Amino acid sequence: MINNLNILLPEIFLTLSIFSILMIGVFIKNSFNLIFNLTSLIILLTIVIILNNPSSVEKIFLESFTRDAFSNFFKILILISSLFVLNSSKNFILDKKLAKFEYPIIVLLSILGMFFMVSSNDIILFYLGLELQSLALYILASIDRDNLKSSESGIKYFVLSALSSGLLLYGCSLLYGFTGSTNFELIANELSKENTGAVFAMVFILVGLAFKVSAVPFHMWTPDVYEGAPTSITSYFAVVPKVAGLAVLIKFMLIPFSKILMEWQTIIIFISIASMILGAVAAIGQKNVKRLLAYSSIGHIGYALAGVATGVISGYESAIVYISIYVVMNIGAFSCLYLLKKDGEYKENISDLSGISKKHPMLAISFLVILFSLAGIPPLGGFFAKFYVFTAVVEQKMYALAIIGLLTTVISAFYYLKIIKTIYFDASVISFDNTKNKFAQLSIFISCSILLTFFLYPSVLSNVVDTLFLN
Amino acid sequence: MDFPILSTLIFLPLVSSLFIFLSRGQNYNSAIYISLFSSLATFILSLFIWYSMDYASADFQFLEEQSWINDFIKFKLGIDGISILFIVLTTLITPICIISCINSVKDRVKEFLIAIMILETFMIGVFCSLDLVVFYLFFEAGLIPMFLIIGVWGGPKRVYSAFKFFLFTLLGSVLMLVAIIAIYWITGTTDVTQIYEIKIPKEYQNLLWLAFFSSFAVKTPMWPVHTWLPDAHVEAPTAGSVILAAILLKMAGYGFLRFSLPMFPLASEFFTPLIFTLSIIAIIYTSLVALMQEDMKKLIAYSSVAHMGYVTLGIFTFTKQGVEGSVFQMISHGLISAALFLCVGVVYDRLNSRMISTYGGLVNYLPKYSFLFIVFALAGLGLPGTSGFLGEFLVLTGSFQKNYLVAMLATFGVILGAAYMLWLTKRVIFGVTKNDQIKNLKDVNKSEMIMLGILALLVIFFGFYPIPLMETINVSVDNLINNYEIAVQTEGLN
């Protein structure tokens, strides 16, 4: 038993570090900077630990916890994206006076929750991980507690998310009742199409998961929370929980529900199409960049779900490639928002971007690259993400899904073009402060370089993803 | 061929755009010199490729292959007699555009040159690619720089035009992407040369053909999806209009020749009546519309639609004359329409107006300009002795073999073409000078003379001596038509 604990090493390390820095925070005054830097260090160390962790399949604690290449990949993706999101938002946090020492600790706690989500092989462990993550996110959404909008978004997120967690839990208990087990593999063996109760359970679980990745029709919270929460939190919301949610969704299709894929697939196809259409249409009228990115993220989840909807390994792989590139694009997009500072105030309306190409050419060109990539125009990274997904979709002969999906890319291209139009074609009104936010600039640079050079060797990412499903 | 000469050709402009980006200086001289130098180098390189290729062989030459997306899609390049002409056209037009922007672009010159150079990379890439995904990549990527060229440096309604251009083309192309992916799952490859041999089953051909058609029809542009073109042309800066008319429109014609015809021969045969109808409508209807235009650029834009109607008509006659005529017509239209847009640009730079009514009687004050304008206008209407004549003549010869009615109607288009071009010339060049500003205008300067002079010489040269072009495409076109006929005969029987 003790020997097996090294399988849990990343989680154990993370837990112990969280408690230690919590102590530091309690006993040392004004320790935000120290804790923030320690958090980055912990994230880096955890990445190192996971990389050194062999990726052979191991299951411990009555097979409730799995460590394999799949979970390791997602953990690393979660860590790297959190690292970039946190560090590029540091100046923002300081400027907005959000510099409470709990902030980075809560982020770490949500990461810990996600770790258990992606590693779980048992619905109880899965639910615990999900709740740990969600609770941390409720607090983060309302962290700017004196701001009406932030508190509102926190409450909204809490109420709706609690409801969805309840549904999910109800689904889990139904699943236990009808199959007599909480273990994923055992559930898979018991399930069949005739088991109507289990199909019900599946629907409830799917509702809960769709809420977490903000897929239509469970997306209502997304625009409000994205707009209301401070930008640093929004960027975290837009990136990291989506990765974990998608990982769990794929895992559910891979193991417990592998025998009732047909039922599951129909729902996902519907959710995917609805998300793509809503993400494309509802974003057109938006005036706030954060709100627009919220709708755009709904649309992007729709594309990733299109890959999941195929119900085959190549489809899941394409969804993972999609979400990875989505992470790169969104980190870049939000880092751009941190540079839109004027007299100590962060601008977030599209009209504020008017004509920034004249005074801030580098920022404008980065925004251009990221937006065209979000729209999926070749030769940028976003195109390859869509290409992989639609290749998998067409392979399964789901032509309608492919055609609807690609038509919505044209609609969504319209609102990305609208931002580009504001940046490049309109007259210049605001000249922003010259910020010294080095890390945000670095993450914009990295994000743009990845998107621009992705076409040179697109297989690099999918080769990694291919290895995740070998066992 | 060990040295990757086509990749060099494609990526040379891209690399030079990096240097332009790094260049400094107050009046952008260094940026202009870098771009001019590198685009001329690209031109010379393309001439060298043209010179050193083997016309007698219908195979693809200068092949390059590189594993690309997950081993299943290769980055494959190669050219044959048809594509080399478009490559040379591209590399010829680009330096001319750069010269033109010395006079016409005043604002953000460096960014403009970068956009042009990146666009050149994508355009050459389209004509070199032998893989459907690579083709799609370059085909779509060209939208980004063109969108910016129209939107940033364009006229008053530039935003509307840029959006219309981008969204129309994107909408057409996404269906082609679905078709490309479907082809991959049907044949197991996206390598064009392999697909030629595998032959796509009959039951899929019609749908796939339509998906490709939706993209090419928008790009050509064919009636009724041509409406983005006049808007885009009118609002784009001179260099943008020139590239749009001379090269971007040719991508679709090239696409028909390279993909639709050889990959879906049965569907091409099946849809010939559709293409003929749309081409005839394009030729006659848009010529009539052109007659009514008040704006010079809009008139030339509509005439482009009509001329591209001849191109699609010629391609789908499946006769040697028709297809060769189409290719010739595309090259010659590339030269003539470029020159006409440059001519409009010359006076627009001076008077800031594109309206026909602003001008009149230019011949009294700008004799050199008037001479060049008349040369291009006559070439545009297809006067024998200019390159414009030969393309139309061959297309009509080809279509007479297929369908009398279609050929007759198309011939009407020639008359209408003469009508709008001559009337334009009469109103702009001749007549009484009503506008006093014209009296103070300066005639063409040195740089304008160079670019218009080169184009005029080429238009007349190819009008009298088309053999270099014809020799280059001869074997490739023969091969194309042979394969098409074999496919139709053998598979038509089954």
Q: Half-sphere exposure of residue A384, counting CA atoms within 13 Å on the CB side? A: 28
Determine whether the interchain pair B137/A383 forms a contact, defined as Cβ–Cβ distance below 8 Å.
Answer: yes
Determine whether the interchain pair B177/A390 forms a contact, defined as Cβ–Cβ distance below 8 Å.
Answer: yes
> Residues B477, B368: contact at Cβ < 8 Å?
no
Measure the CA–CA gap between B77 and B440, rounded to whole angstroms: 52
User: What pLDDT shows up at residue A244?
Assistant: 93
- Shortest distance between the Cα of B286 and any Cα of chain A, in A, equals 28
User: What pLDDT shows up at residue B127?
Assistant: 92
CB burial string B44-63: b at 16+ within 10 A, e below: ebbeebbeebebeebebbbe
User: What pLDDT shows up at residue A372?
Assistant: 93
CB burial string B436-450: b at 16+ within 10 A, e below: eebeebeebeeebbe
Contact residues, chain A, for B174 at CB < 8 Å: 406-407, 409-410
Best residue in B131, B160, B177, B235 to probe A by mutation, most A CBs within 10 Å? B177
Determine whether the interchain pair A410/B174 forms a contact, defined as Cβ–Cβ distance below 8 Å.
Answer: yes
User: What pLDDT shows up at residue B494?
Assistant: 54
Q: Which residues of chain B have pLDDT under 50?
A: none
User: What pLDDT shows up at residue A77?
Assistant: 94
Measure the CA–CA gap between A154 and A222, rounded to whole angstroms: 11
In this structure, what DSSP letter does residue B355 have? B
User: What pLDDT shows up at residue A436?
Assistant: 76
Determine whether the interchain pair B136/A378 forms a contact, defined as Cβ–Cβ distance below 8 Å.
Answer: yes
Contact residues, chain B, for A384 at CB < 8 Å: 69
Four-CA torsion A460, A461, A465, A470, nearest 10 degrees: 0
Tokens 């939190």 sit on residue: A233
User: What pLDDT shows up at residue A169?
Assistant: 92
> Tokens for A416?
């990305």
> Residue A355: closest CA among chain B residues belongs to which residue?
B152
Of B70, B140, B166, the CB nearest to A417: B166
User: What pLDDT shows up at residue B492?
Assistant: 60
- Shortest distance between the Cα of A381 and any Cα of chain B, in A, equals 11
Q: Which residues of chain A have pLDDT under 70?
A: 1-3, 471
* A384 touches B at CB < 8 Å: yes
- Amino acid symbol at B57: S
Determine whether the interchain pair A394/B182 forms a contact, defined as Cβ–Cβ distance below 8 Å.
Answer: yes
Answer left, alpha or beta for residue B361, where phi above 0 means left and psi between -120 and 50 means alpha.
left
Q: What are phi and psi of A66, to 5 degrees?
A: -110, 140
User: What pLDDT shows up at residue B479?
Assistant: 87
> Tokens for B49?
């490729």
User: What pLDDT shows up at residue A321?
Assistant: 93
Determine whether the interchain pair A425/B143 forms a contact, defined as Cβ–Cβ distance below 8 Å.
Answer: no
User: What pLDDT shows up at residue B26?
Assistant: 67
Contact residues, chain A, for B181 at CB < 8 Å: 387, 390-391, 394, 402
Determine whether the interchain pair B141/A377 forms a contact, defined as Cβ–Cβ distance below 8 Å.
Answer: yes
User: What pLDDT shows up at residue B2?
Assistant: 67
Of A378, A424, A455, the CB nearest to B148: A424
Count the neighbouring beta carbons within 10 Å of the beta carbon of residue A247.
25
Determine whether the interchain pair B70/A459 forms a contact, defined as Cβ–Cβ distance below 8 Å.
Answer: yes
Determine whether the interchain pair A406/B174 forms a contact, defined as Cβ–Cβ distance below 8 Å.
Answer: yes
Q: What are phi and psi of B65, to 5 degrees?
A: -135, 140
- Shortest distance between the Cα of B310 and any Cα of chain A, in A, equals 30
Helices marked H in A89-147: 90-95, 102-119, 123-141
User: What pLDDT shows up at residue B293?
Assistant: 87
Measure the CA–CA gap between B487 and B493, rounded to whole angstroms: 10
What's the gap between Cα A116 and its chain centre? Answer: 16
User: What pLDDT shows up at residue B457?
Assistant: 92
Determine whether the interchain pair B185/A394 forms a contact, defined as Cβ–Cβ distance below 8 Å.
Answer: yes
The pTM score is 0.92
Determine whether the interchain pair B178/A379 forms a contact, defined as Cβ–Cβ distance below 8 Å.
Answer: no
| Three-state secondary-structure class, residue A66 | strand
User: What pLDDT shows up at residue A471?
Assistant: 63
